[in-house]
A = this chain, B = another copy of it.
Amino acid sequence: MFDALRNYINNYASSQISEEDFDLVKQAFKHKKIRKRQYFLQEGDVCKYTAFISKGAMRQYSVDENGNERIIRLGIENWWMGDFESFVMLTPSLYNIDAVEDSDILMVTNEQMQLLRAQVPAIEATIKVMDQNRAIAYEKRIRASISFSAEERYLELQKTYPALLQRFPQTMIASYLGISPETLSRIRKQLAVK
């Protein structure tokens, strides 16, 4: 259960995390199984935990006034899931997060995370790299949304995170790209011809 997280840390921190340090990590995280369609977070609630997905697939989305779901993040194994703003500021979330497949997650509060960060150098290092990577990934996505057409954004996603295309239904991919399912269907048809 914790192996995925251990590998993740060892991969991000430059050195291996010691057994004692990893015990601290284990104590800070709560394991939870979450079934397909089950909520991890509902709009209006505070996102008290951030979750490391050790198995499964999840999504974060808001619902507009017409009832349309707008997916702003997708996550699978070895990704983190949570509403960052709500988690850090302890404000009510604008988002829902639920499982798209049966999932195993490891949950931690921000308080525990900050403690771990201070106690365990490997965690501190991991978080720094994560912060960097997140900033870079977000900048790319912002650039794509300003500069690229729907087709280009789809191709970019296909190139960057091909795994997501296999794990989530096309409707969700479309929503994540900010386009309608019909448009994505037509783009794929179009690309198949080429």
How distant is the Cα of A100 from the Cα of B20 in the complex, in angstroms? 53
Interface 9-mer from A11-19, A22-30, A127-135, A181-189: A127-135
Number of interface residues of A (CB under 8 A): 27
Within 8 A of B (CB), among A50-99: 62, 64, 70-72, 84-85, 88-89
Q: Mark A142-173, 1 if CB is under 8 A from B, else 0.
A: 11011100000000000000000000000000
Given contacts A64-B147, A146-B178, A147-B64, contact A138 B136 (CB under 8 A): no
Identify which of B89, B134, B142 contacts A72 (C-beta below 8 A).
B142
How distant is the Cα of A138 from the Cα of B84 in the complex, in angstroms? 11
How distant is the Cα of A136 from the Cα of B85 in the complex, in angstroms? 6
Given contacts A72-B139, A136-B84, A139-B84, contact A145 B147 (CB under 8 A): no
